[in-house]
Structures are given as structure tokens and as C-alpha cells.
């Protein structure tokens, strides 16, 4: 194991990058939790995360997206030398692209036309990147013990994304049957509407950050093992 990963794990860049990734992912989760407290007027059951930009604490949302982007870029840098397969390297590029999408979202809020582009770039790239990278890392002897946790947390990302899409469809269909119309100024849903899409949207953010934290902490554990041998 030491021969396989010591050159990269003991480098001057990868270990600090993993620490930054872990801290930024935790910060993103804390910012998201803080928005629930700071902006309770946005019902989390059906209001998506980006709508916090219309409240009084849009700057906290920008910090959340910025921290999320930083976590993705930092973990990509940290593990870049560990990813050996072609599919895994594609995953790294997708992870960087996802981070670009989150960074764009931190600058262009839901009211800006470029916010849709940010979502199209950041959201679908993340689950694909996580799966490709997790499988690639899991093939290395040094990472094999963590393969299950890596793949499991990666799967949670796409499961949450599929859940978000499904619950959005459910919201629109039940809202149509209830005679309502979705709009930016809607403050309350009519009776009979099934709304859980907001929770699924938040779950996507949480699982994405959880995967980054899992990879970063696994990386830190490998470093500690190498230190024991040195």
C-alpha cells in the first residue's frame, strides 16, 4: 500500500487539498442548515434551495454554493493522482465541471438566466462523477477497504437526484389537479398537493457533500497509515 500511494498522499498539495475539501463540504452543510433557521418563510417541503436567494439571506446561499464548489475542486485535486482508470479521469473532469456549476450558482441566483445553465452543468455531472471516481478508487488495494462506503455514498447522490425529479413531477401533477399554478410568488399550496420535492432537493446537496467528506476522510486515514510505516 505504501508503495502505491505514498508519493501522492505525502505530497505538499494533496493532503491540504483533502482537508480543504472536508472543511468546505461541512461548511456547505452548515450554511444550508443555517438557511432553514434564517429564512423559515421558505417551506422546505416544496421550496428548492435556490429560492433562498429571494429572502433576506441570499448571501448565505452564495456562501453555501461557493463552499460546495470549493469542496468539489479540492477533492478532485487531492485524489487526482490516485485515479488511474480512464473512466475515473473522466469522473474528475465531471467533478470539476460540477464545481463550476456550483460556483456559477453562487454568483448568478435563481432570478438570473445563467442560473439555469449553472444547474444544468452542476447537477447531472455530480452523481456521474462520484460513481466513476468511487469505482476507480475502489480498484486500488489501498482504497479497497473503503470501496463499499465510497460506492454507497456515490449511489445516494443519483438516488436523491432521481427522487427530486420524480417528486417535482408529482408536485406539478397534483398541483394541476388541485387547480393551482406554480409561480415565484406562491406562498401556500392548495389542499391535495403532494409536496416533498424540496426535501429531495436538499438531500441532493447533503449526499453530494457527504460523498466528498467520505473521500476526504478516507484519504486522511490512508495518510495516517503511511505515517505509521514511515
User: Cell triple for residue 64?
Assistant: 453555501
- CA geometry: angle 81, 82, 83, nearest 5 deg: 95
User: Cell triple for residue 192?
Assistant: 391535495
- DSSP helix/strand/coil, 183: coil
Burial class (CB in 10 A: 0-12, 13-18, 19+), 181: exposed
Q: How far apart are the first and last CA of the chain?
A: 12
Over the chain (230 residues), the average pLDDT of each successive run of 10 is 45 82 98 96 94 96 98 96 94 98 97 95 97 95 91 97 96 82 67 90 98 95 62
Measured CA to CA, the distance from residue 163 to residue 5 in angstroms comes to 37
Burial class (CB in 10 A: 0-12, 13-18, 19+), 41: exposed
Q: Name all contacts of 119-123 with Cβ < 8 Å and 24+ positions apart.
A: 119/50, 121/97, 122/97, 122/98, 123/98, 123/161, 123/204
pLDDT number for residue 227: 53
Q: Is the CB of residue 184 less than 8 Å from the CB of residue 224?
A: no
pLDDT number for residue 56: 95
Q: Is the CB of residue 204 less than 8 Å from the CB of residue 164?
A: yes
Compute CA 63 distance to the chain's CA centroid, rounded to the nearest angstrom: 14
Measured CA to CA, the distance from residue 137 to residue 200 in angstroms comes to 28
The residue extents of the domains of the chain are: 2-229
Amino acid at each position: 500500500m505504501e508503495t502505491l500511494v505514498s508519493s501522492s498522499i505525502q505530497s505538499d498539495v494533496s493532503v491540504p487539498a483533502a482537508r480543504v475539501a472536508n472543511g468546505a463540504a461541512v461548511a456547505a452543510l452548515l450554511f444550508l442548515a443555517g438557511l432553514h433557521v434564517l429564512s423559515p418563510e421558505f417551506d422546505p417541503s416544496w421550496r428548492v434551495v435556490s429560492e433562498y436567494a429571494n429572502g433576506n439571506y441570499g448571501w448565505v446561499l452564495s456562501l453555501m454554493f461557493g463552499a460546495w464548489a470549493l469542496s468539489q475542486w479540492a477533492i478532485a485535486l487531492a485524489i487526482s493522482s490516485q485515479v488511474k482508470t480512464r473512466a475515473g479521469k473522466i469522473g474528475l473532469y465531471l467533478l470539476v465541471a460540477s464545481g463550476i456549476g456550483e460556483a456559477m450558482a453562487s454568483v448568478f441566483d435563481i432570478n438570473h438566466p445563467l442560473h439555469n445553465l449553472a444547474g444544468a452543468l452542476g447537477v447531472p455531472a455530480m452523481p456521474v462523477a462520484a460513481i466513476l471516481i468511487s469505482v476507480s478508487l475502489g480498484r486500488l488495494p489501498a482504497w479497497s477497504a473503503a470501496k463499499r462506503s465510497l460506492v454507497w455514498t456515490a449511489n445516494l447522490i443519483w438516488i436523491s437526484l432521481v427522487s427530486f425529479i420524480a417528486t417535482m413531477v408529482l408536485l406539478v401533477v397534483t398541483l394541476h389537479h388541485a387547480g393551482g399554478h406554480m409561480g415565484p410568488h406562491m406562498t401556500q399550496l392548495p389542499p391535495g398537493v403532494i409536496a416533498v420535492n424540496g426535501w429531495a432537493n436538499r438531500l441532493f446537496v447533503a449526499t453530494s457533500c457527504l460523498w466528498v467528506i467520505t473521500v476526504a476522510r478516507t484519504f486522511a486515514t490512508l495518510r495516517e497509515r503511511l505515517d505509521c510505516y514511515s
